[in-house]
Structure 1
Amino acid sequence: MRRNILLSVLLIGFLLLAALFWPSPRASAADIRTGDHVIVAADEIIDDDLVISANLIEINGTITGDLIATGSQIVVRGAVGGSAALAAQSIDVAGQIDGSLYAAGYAMRLLDGAAVGRNLFFGGFSLLTHPQSTVERAAHVTGSQMTHNGTIGGDLNVSLGGLDVNGVVGGNLTGRTGPSGTAAPQMPFAMPGLPAVTMLAPGLRVAPEAQIGGEIVAREVVPTPAPTTGFLGLPIWLLNRIGETIGLLLTALVIIAMAPRFIPAVSDALRRQPLPSLGWGLLVYLVLFPIGLIGGLILVVLLAIAVNLVTFGRYTAAILGLSASFWVFALFLFLFFVYMVAWLVVGHLIGRGLLSRLGGSTPGRGMQFLYVFVGVILFQLLRAVPILSFFLAFIVGTLALGALFVAWLERRRAIAAGKTTLPSV
């Protein structure tokens, strides 16, 4: 259930980005505001889209276009003529949103007087709808819990731990919740300054006064124990190790066939400079990768905002999709190296140390694969020990990352040295 919740929240995040940069039919740039406390006064009318980033955001006036807001606390008491994309720890909506509401956060409340003209999408910990709140069409909610006391005109689709339905659902009640029969959990963490959240017990509860216009299709999902045996009655952990080993060896075959010098070059760099490789690897793993991950995402957003302002939203979606694809591809390459290629590099070093007498001075592709094969098999045997598995993976990934950087530095120095001596030849 937690994995499904996490994936759903990530989906909501991408929906927020899509809502943020989707080209508007109006050829105009958005009104962008930042600060610690941003207020749209009750008598203020913004005849445009509004983008806000602040700690505390209060919308008391009227926005004729779309609203995009990110912060710690967001309160919407006014009117939004388009759709709203909100991301914050605490979200309170007591006004009118003519379009759809996309929201992600710790806790959101649709207070009395709140009216969403189209659909509601929420991903987070807790959602509470008050009796005089309205969602004209469907509501899609994912997270930990929801208490519904208001009115939803269409379907209510959920993926939650606990759900209490006391209000009106005009369509079907679909989705799934956690299994009932257990007490409400304790508050996971304290959040000073945020509205109090009443913890719900897992399960689906439909009160007698609730009105469901369609069918109740939602079901409680009871976690099933993970199987301990699989193909041919072998233990699951052994099948996982066999599958990982086959995958690593197939990857080694492809790399050795297409770039036979890559694995030996990185392995040699690790053999010659183990301590610098460890140091560079720790720097990349613990510092540069997180900075690059967050910085890359920020660059994607800033580039999309810049294109949105310059082209009036004409090519924003295309630029956002292209830059986000590059970001995802770079992340894939990093993870592919850490979780696949790193084992081949360090495995090659181990296998070469054990079989170096068989390979001669310039071992061919077959001997290179044999080195990798021996090292991978030894590593898989060590990873069968639960305590060693995590630490071994971290050490292997760190050493290989550092060795890759060291090999790159050595290559640059060699090229530079060749260029400097070239004129005298």
Structure 2
Amino acid sequence: MSETEEKMKHLDEMTCLLYLERQLDRARGLEVSLHTQECQSCRTLLRALERESRLLTRAMFEDNEPLPSRLAQFQEAARRSMQWIWALAFGLAATGVYALYTEYIEPWQRQLHEAGFNGTNLLGLLIFQSPFWKGWQSVITLLEFLALATLGGLGLMFLRRRIRRGSALALVFASLCAALLAPTQASATEFRKGDRITIGKDEVVHSDLYVAGGQIRIGGTIEGDLVVAGGDVEVSGHVLGDMLSTSGQVRMTGQVDGSIRGYAGNITIKGKVGRNVMSFGGDVNLDHDALITGSVTTGSGRLSLDGHVGRDLLAFAGQSNISGDIGGAAKIYGGELNIDSSADIRGPVDFEGDKEPQVSPQAKLASPVHFVKQTHGPNYSNPHYYIWQLIWASAYILFGLVLFALMPAFSSQAVNSLQEHLGATLGLAVLVGFGLFVAALIACVTVVGLFVGLATLALWFGTLYFGLVVVGAQLGQWLMGRTKEFWPLVGRMCVGVVIIRVLAMIPQVGWIFKYGAAFWGLGAISLVIFRRFQPVPATGLTVPP
């Protein structure tokens, strides 16, 4: 018998498996059984397959299968390594928070304190002492209404099974009628508008006054706050509260017991201010007769200070001329500083500008002017610059690590969408990147929408940072290959973020790489969010005839 005929007589593995699973017919099964009794090799194959089948069946029904020793050792080593990784991550986070506080928040708090905002924390400074604090009452009223509506809805949901539908409708309509018939609170605000508005010297307004017009003259007494918007505004009367002005030209020759917040092309103060002055305009003039009890914060093209300031001065001006009295410190940022002979500054003077200050020898200064020449752009020769770049890169990596760990599926989809949908992500980058920012600014202009606008701006900035991390992950995948695993993706993200930060350090064009990556990533995130809100069509359903 030849070797080929001998091989053809042996059973194959499929026949043996069908025999073990009792899938052969009776005649074929008897034939296989007789053959295995006579053939040693087929009997050995059948026993091996039977043993393998039993092992696989037992493994499928075991709940907790022990790991092999090598895998268990690797898992323990990985767990110990993760402790060091998280310790390093928290260390970087603490370093970033400390650097952020010392570099940005603490100087802002100090400057706000010098400007007269004496809150105990940053939240109090931003909210309770904001120049727009009047609008928060409307926000609180809206929140109260939403809270009552929520409680009412929960009550109806709780009682919907205990009362009939007609009774529920009657209850709803009765509540609405009671709300409509409830007496409204008397408004403590007076509004006036027109082309020319004049409040005489003997007129007294017993509330807050909101005025809008072309030419506005306030000569009487305002027992509350004065909010004015116009082309030409002159206040020669007495304002017992604060004054907030947005106008083309403002002249204050009377008395304001509170603070002045002015946004105008030209601001002139000749009267008395009981607290602080915050002014932004083309020209800001504090006349010789001006008396500000508190501090002055100003941002203008030209500042002329000839009056008396009781506390500190914080100025951002192209040209600053000081010939009056300052009871505290003076910090001035701008192009030029001139201190005349009649100036009297009782605190330290810090000036950061393009030119050295011109100080008269007859000027009375508590100490010589501390001058720092302004540097435009980063100082590449300073090691401090590279340390901060390293800190910011670490902060980006830590931020991306947290987001990738919290939202792995969302992050992976955002990274993949950059390559799969290039045109859509770029289009959404322009649409959402600029449209959302403009919408948030418009919301901030309205008093009631201020909270929504600020929250939207915060979300917009946070999404830009996340977008840069997403683009960094995609850049790392282009260089090192695509992956779906978590830690390899994080490693590629680290490489990409470092590359983007290095490209951002290039003079003149670095900002293009930085903001281009951030906006592109914002487009990818917007695309993923848009697709998640789209309804998924059902598949596999048959339409009945």
| TM-score normalised by structure 1 residue count | 0.69
Q: Summarize deviations over 1:263-306 as a string: whole Å, max 9, x none.
A: 2111222222211211111111223321x22232134x136xxx
Q: 1:237 and 1:402 mapped to 2: Cα distance?
A: 30
Corresponding position: 1:202 with 2:202: no
SS of the equivalent of 1:85 reads strand
| Alpha-carbon displacement from aligned partner over 1:29-57 (angstroms, at most 9, x marks no partner) | 21123455544355643222102244543
Which residue in 2 is equivalent to 1:417? 537
Query: Is the counterpart of residue 302 in structure 1 residue 416 in structure 2?
Result: no
The secondary structure found in structure 2 opposite 1:302 is: coil
Asked if residue 76 in structure 1 is aligned to residue 231 in structure 2, the reply is no
In structure 2, relative to structure 1, the CA distance for the partners of 1:109 and 1:387 (3 Å cut) is: closer
Q: Matches of 1:387 and 1:420 in 2, distance apart? A: 57
Alignment pair present for 1:147 and 2:304:
yes
Find the aligned partners of 1:273 and 1:260 in 2 and give their Cα distance.
Answer: 19
Aligned to 1:62: 221
What's 1:51 paired with?
A: 210
State how far apart, in whole Å, the 1-side matches of 2:233 and 2:253 are: 11
C-alpha displacement at 1:391, in angstroms? 1.8
Of 145, 149, 163, the match for 2:321: 163
Residue from 377, 391, 399 that aligns with 2:512: 391
Structure 2 match to 1:127: 284
Structure with greater Cα Rg:
2
What is the rounded CA distance, in whole Å, between the counterparts of 2:404 and 2:201 in structure 1?
Answer: 67
The residue number in structure 1 matching 2:433 is 285
User: Which of the numbers 332, 347, 355 marks the counterpart of 2:458?
Assistant: 332
Partners of 1:260 and 1:219 in 2: CA distance: 58
SS of the aligned residue for 1:407 comes to helix
Alignment check: 8 A CA contact 1:175 1:218 kept: no
Give the corresponding residue for 1:308.
none
Separation in structure 2 between the aligned mates of residue 365 and residue 211 of structure 1, nearest angstrom? 64
Corresponding residue of 1:244: 392
> Once the 2 structures are TM-superposed, how far is the Cα of residue 260 of structure 1 from its aligned partner?
1.2
Q: Following TM superposition, by how much is the alpha carbon of 1:11 offset from its aligned partner in structure 2, in angstroms?
A: 9.1
Could you tell me which residue of structure 1 aligns to residue 420 of structure 2? Answer: 272
Give distance in 1, aligned partners of 2:540 and 2:251: 66
Asked if structure 2 preserves the Cα contact closer than 8 Å seen for 1:36 and 1:54, the reply is yes
Q: Which has the higher contact order (CA 8 A, sep 6+)?
A: 1
Q: Which moved more, 1:89-98 or 1:253-262?
A: 89-98
Counterpart of 2:369 in structure 1: which amino acid?
Answer: E
Residues in 1 aligned to 2:529 and 2:338: alpha-carbon distance in whole angstroms: 55
User: How many percent identity over aligned positions?
Assistant: 20
1: CA distance, partners of 2:221 / 2:255? 9
Deviation larger for 140-149 or 382-391: 140-149
Which amino acid in the other structure matches residue 331 of structure 1?
L
Count residues with an aligned counterpart: 356
Deviation at 1:96, TM superposition (A): 3.1
**Alignment deviations for residues 145-169 of structure 1 (CA, whole Å, 9 cap, x no partner):** 54344456x4464446523225xx4
Superposed displacement of residue 255, structure 1: 1.7
Question: Distance between the aligned counterparts of 1:379 and 1:98, measured in 2?
Answer: 52
**Structure with the larger helix share:** 2
| TM-aligned CA distance change 1:279 to 1:164, over 3 Å | same
Whole-angstrom CA distance in 2 between matches of 1:143 and 1:298? 20
Letter aligned with residue 105 of structure 1: A
In structure 2, stretches of 5+ residues that fail to align are 1-106, 118-124, 138-184, 348-363
Aligned equivalents of 1:57, 1:276: Cα separation in 2: 51
* AA aligned opposite 2:521: A
Secondary structure, aligned partner of 2:448: helix
* 1:178 and 1:222 in contact (8 A); partners too: no
Give secondary structure in 2 for the equivalent of 1:279: helix
